[in-house]
A and B are shown apart, each in its own frame.
Chain A
């Protein structure tokens, strides 16, 4: 499958990555070859096979609706680059 530089730019923007022109070329080639391999896999007959969503053969892991202590404001904000009172402070978000 052919991956264009535009495809790489789109995915990079969604992932908030800034790439150089050389990187875009490099990744376009690498991603193309990965998807090319997927095309090879696609040639296997999978009729009647349920798509795998999880690698672990397990289901229904629950917890009861019982409150457990939270970690507290100070711990929650301990790694925040910036805080304002009990809030995480971030650049102004306008809608």
Chain B
């Protein structure tokens, strides 16, 4: 029998606020354990949580960027369960009236039509603390609890079960990642847990209407692992059904070392969370004027910017997509275009030399040692014929190393392109004299030898001869 996988994703997005969601403790990563805590995030009796307004602003932005409607009156709820990393015995979350509802993202896989993936809801909640084991917890036999992360603001973005393959899931996830980092509401660091994904996976016979029983896979912290975990889980469920077994609804943990998922029995009974409205937090009312203000403050989003690059700047769709991979890259590109004018040329250099330099050095575009204005200056030197495209790469490498301006490097190293026909003619004459055999071959109709002469002239001029001038002069001289 053929099976159809059905996948929905729950993504936790850690928000880039300075303080926690319900108290003024810092959210800085990597501080001494339990040094960023107070009565509120420790869950001490009598402490009262107060909502961080920035969390609401960020949630509205995320909702608008994913085509959600903003709930006019939303409330917080207590999700009750016991776990050592949860000091209050409940997590403050949203249940019945989440802040954002009914959104969607359009995804496109290579060679396929656009597909709309529904977003059921986005709600605000607090993170739990962190458990450490063994050496990390001071070498004791048990586990250590660090509550610095407790009460850190999260958005949970819940998709509809609209995804039908691991590739669709990863494409959706990457798009969501791009949006939240683009909005500047999340740093997107998956290894540090700033962007985490749980996947609900089930399978049903092709053509069936009723979904199969789903398993929830936790702990997948890279795009690669999401793909692996989903594929493993799909195959596990198919094998189970084919062998006459039944899939049970459960939470499963992905193990990146083995590439497998395994059952987490401890979570089985915990699914009865007995949500109820948190009496400590008053309702959140968001009027239309607040929503409109947020809408006006939204930056131009990746998709819109991509379209503008194609329509206004005449970029090929592929270039436009690459150059809008992050907001920083798109900003860099536009600053370069503003300073130079030729979008295609600026784009090529960013996708070529700049990207290579960043990758080789493990840098992000924001840390690029060559500024967009410097890049534009370099391109102008090519336009003016001062240097050749080939020499420009040498100049670029030096700009990257020293941060000097391209003019200065060209002057210091004597890299000015030779366009003086007299000087180039002299070189050509010398080379033709030294290679009489090849001259005869060319004149006998073997035109391929032309490339040999170009190479020799460029070499003799140490790459400084203007290639266009070299071509013209060589042609006329060889034709005699």
Q: Which residues of A contact B (CB under 8 A)?
A: 10, 13-14, 16, 53-56, 58-68, 70-73, 76-77, 84-93, 95
Whether B137 lies near A89 (C-beta < 8 A) is: yes
**Complex interface: chain A residues within 8 A of B284 (CB):** 59-60
**Complex interface: chain A residues within 8 A of B42 (CB):** 76
Whether A95 lies near B253 (C-beta < 8 A) is: yes
**Complex interface: chain A residues within 8 A of B82 (CB):** 16
Whether B37 lies near A87 (C-beta < 8 A) is: no
How distant is B28 from chain A, measured CB to nearest CB, in Å? 9
With both beta carbons as reference points, the residue of chain B lying nearest to A79 in the complex is identified as B44
How distant is B277 from chain A, measured CB to nearest CB, in Å? 4
Tell me the bound Cα distance from A83 to B136 in angstroms: 13
With both beta carbons as reference points, the residue of chain A lying nearest to B283 in the complex is identified as A59
Whether B33 lies near A85 (C-beta < 8 A) is: yes
Given A62-B50, A62-B53, residue A91 in contact with residue B37 (CB < 8 A): no
Tell me the bound Cα distance from A10 to B270 in angstroms: 11
Whether B32 lies near A86 (C-beta < 8 A) is: yes
23 contacts between A and B (CB under 8 A): A53-B75, A59-B283, A59-B284, A62-B53, A63-B50, A63-B53, A64-B52, A66-B18, A67-B26, A70-B37, A70-B38, A71-B37, A73-B34, A73-B35, A84-B138, A86-B35, A86-B146, A87-B33, A88-B34, A89-B143, A89-B144, A90-B84, A93-B84
Whether B133 is near chain A, meaning CB under 8 Å from some CB there, is yes
Tell me the bound Cα distance from A79 to B144 in angstroms: 15
Chain B contacts with A in 13-43, Cβ cutoff 8 A? 17-19, 23-26, 32-39, 42
Whether A87 lies near B144 (C-beta < 8 A) is: yes
Interface digits, B227-253 against A, CB 8 Å rule (1 contact, 0 not)?
A: 000000000000000000000000001
Number of A-B contacts (CB under 8 A): 138
Which interface residue of A73, A88, A93 has the most chain B CB atoms within 10 A? Answer: A88
Whether B142 lies near A71 (C-beta < 8 A) is: no
With both beta carbons as reference points, the residue of chain B lying nearest to A72 in the complex is identified as B35
Tell me the bound Cα distance from A53 to B25 in angstroms: 28
**Complex interface: chain B residues within 8 A of A59 (CB):** 73, 282-285
How distant is A74 from chain B, measured CB to nearest CB, in Å? 9
How distant is B31 from chain A, measured CB to nearest CB, in Å? 9
Whether B282 lies near A67 (C-beta < 8 A) is: no
Tell me the bound Cα distance from A68 to B285 in angstroms: 26
How distant is B412 from chain A, measured CB to nearest CB, in Å? 48
Tell me the bound Cα distance from A66 to B26 in angstroms: 9
With both beta carbons as reference points, the residue of chain A lying nearest to B276 in the complex is identified as A53
Whether B297 is near chain A, meaning CB under 8 Å from some CB there, is no
